[in-house]
Structure 1
Amino acid sequence: MLVLCNGAYGRRMEQICRTAGIACETFNQSEEQALSPAAAAPLLAAGPLSAVAMVHCETSSGVLNPVAELGRLVRQLQPGAAFIVDSMSAFGAVPLDLEAAGVDYLVSSANKCIEGVPGFGFVIARLERLKQTKGNSRSLSLDLFDQWAGLERSGQFRFTPPTHALLAFDCALQGLLSAGGVAAQASRYRANNVIVKRGLRRLGFRPLVRDGDDCYIITVIYPGKVTDADCFRIGNIGDLHEPDMHRLVDCVETVLRDMQVPIPVTYGDPQ
């Protein structure tokens, strides 16, 4: 496995591999920048790989990674490798053509941009890839092939399913589609993001990630200790709309004044 990593959730992929006894190599890049296909290419070309994994939107930093470009590179340099994408915080609001990007497995969650409730994850898999994994799982409960085969055979989960979360997920999907689908969800989150960045810049704060590498899913602002820099994170997703984000900025300003912090705030560059 090669893990393309630029944040906490890429490092978690590496940790999962180590724990499961899977040979793993990691390409590490700055948390404040999107993964670079050009920089990753030498490792991708170095030798045969079983799989390449990456995070779509790195929630720890708010960086949006170029899945399509990296996927095409994987297909070119490692045609036999499975391409795995963690899209936990992006699926449902960041458009992605899975076929064009060569994605074999996309993993996401019932909550996040779908706006259901936490309780289960799901995988969109290329069927021929999934069938090749029969008997390979190091975990009984997380045997993806066995779960799929059981559903195909009986229509049932192998173990007790989270029925309440499944029903909430169905309702959330219907709500997403009736509101205009992924494009509409992206538009609302993008507007939320703009309000937060504009309002907090006025108060003297600045975004951690430069324009072009950031994503409208989450806004990371200087100065909390989430990554290597002092920062705090503001989620733009969920049932949040423009008035909510204006109120958030107003509340931040009120707290600063209550704490007698000069506005605009001033601080040194992170070390």
Structure 2
Amino acid sequence: MTQHIKLFTPGPGDVDDDVLDALSLPVMRHYGPDWMPVHVEMDELLHRLFQTKNDMYVVPGPASAVLDMAIGSVVAPGKKIIIGTNGFFGDRLVEISQAHRLEIIPFKAAWGKPLDPNLLESLIKENPDTVAFAMVHHETSTTVLNPLKDLMAVARKAGLVTIVDTVSSLAGVDIPVDDWGIDICVCGANKCIEAAPGIGFISVSPHAWTVIDSHDAPGCWYLDLKLWRHYIQEWGAWHPSPVTLPTNVILAARTAIKKIFERGVEAHYARYATASRSMRKGLTNLGFEMLVPEAYASPIATAVKARPEFTLDELTKWLMDEHQIAIGGGLGELTGKVIRVGHLGKAAEREYMLQFLFSVEEFLRMKKIPVQPGGGVAGMFE
């Protein structure tokens, strides 16, 4: 049997046993009378979770594929798109847009800093022919939580189609899609929803459909939103998708989303906030410095700065070898400069966090760094 590695990565995370059990159920067809009740229930659950009345689709593949679908479907080649970039995944939106031959207007902030709504307003005024604005809500590479509501208000006022990567934020913090005017909202199953990788979710507003329908389909088949709408409209009574769906992965996601509502959405959000606050306090007690100030720090993952006494590779390897604990490393320009500790799934539980902090404390003692026994957990749950 494969050894269980405790995941403190920014994704995926350890998930509950009943979610894993759904993956081992007999395989269902992705169409027909047995599947349609699952499809309908999943659609209702996602609409509740996204807080939207917009069209909703479940797409097999990683969330990056769904972002590719969103950008390619909405913005015609040669048209302008403003893209928020303050980390690795904002840069990925730029790469996706380049692949679709779009004219990109960079909207930048330093890595570790949030995007500025005032700068967005200026960029829109300078580029009045811009079609869309795309951004990452939780920039996982830095653990910055961008001011989504304020940014959406600026873009919405200008009439832009808004495309938002909420891959690692939706279900971790409150994101009322309709109230905030998010036209295209993309999320994955394996972050705050606490399910298995393999599917992404996308909501599409009437405003987005108007723009999508104003130009030809993108230069692809599978990642064309019009194709997915066609199957819902024409085949939706028995075969609501153009391709084979990973039915067991969807069943696992359904189980996970139902657990969120059983727990209570606000309680689910509070669980992340408590875990983040406790972990930041515990690591600070042990002498670590956080990359991102509390004012715009994500409750979903925490970026921790390197220390002069040891390399972060040493810490990462020791935690895996000695305690089977996996953490995230730095990406891009933060490689070797930070570790990223996720609070997803079981990593938000008290027992998991205590084991993590005691293990880090043990590592520090092994490196001959003075540490008060139990100092890492002192007052962390207050």
Question: Post-superposition shift, 1:136?
Answer: 2.5
Q: Map 1:31-42 to 2 at 5 A.
A: 31-42=111-122
Q: Is the 8 A contact 1:191 1:242 kept in 2?
A: no
After superposition, the C-alpha distances for 1:98-144 in whole angstroms (9 at most, x for unaligned) are 22321100000112111111111110110342254143322211111
What's the counterpart of residue 205 of structure 1? 288
Q: Does 1:245 align with 2:353?
A: yes
Other structure's SS at 2:192 match = helix
Q: Which structure has the greater CA radius of gyration?
A: 2
Q: Does 1:75 align with 2:156?
A: yes
What's the counterpart of residue 194 of structure 1? 277
Q: For the aligned residues, what is the CA RMSD?
A: 1.6
Other structure's SS at 1:219 match = strand
What's the counterpart of residue 175 of structure 1? 259
- Give unpaired runs (5+ residues) of structure 2: 1-80, 307-311, 313-329, 373-382
What's the counterpart of residue 167 of structure 2? 88
Structure 2 residue aligned with 1:138, among 215, 219, 227? 219
What's the counterpart of residue 62 of structure 1? 143
Structure 1 residue aligned with 2:331, among 222, 226, 230? 226
Other structure's SS at 2:133 match = strand
Question: Post-superposition shift, 1:255?
Answer: 1.6
Q: When the two structures are aligned, how many residues end up with a matched partner?
A: 261
Tell me how far apart the structure 1 counterparts of residues 201 and 220 of structure 2 sit (CA, whole Å).
17
After superposition, the C-alpha distances for 1:237-257 in whole angstroms (9 at most, x for unaligned) are 113312211221111111222
Tell me how far apart the structure 2 counterparts of residues 117 and 131 of structure 1 sit (CA, whole Å).
33
Letter of the 1:234 counterpart: V
Higher relative CO (Cα under 8 Å, sequence separation at least 6) belongs to: 2
What's the counterpart of residue 269 of structure 1? none
What's the counterpart of residue 107 of structure 2? 27
Question: Post-superposition shift, 1:52?
Answer: 0.3
- Give unpaired runs (5+ residues) of structure 1: 265-271
Tell me how far apart the structure 2 counterparts of residues 128 and 202 of structure 1 sit (CA, whole Å).
49
- Give me the identity figure in percent: 28
Other structure's SS at 2:212 match = coil
Tell me how far apart the structure 2 counterparts of residues 96 and 222 of structure 1 sit (CA, whole Å).
29
TM-score by length of 1: 0.91
Question: Post-superposition shift, 1:227?
Answer: 5.1
Tell me how far apart the structure 1 counterparts of residues 89 and 370 of structure 2 sit (CA, whole Å).
35
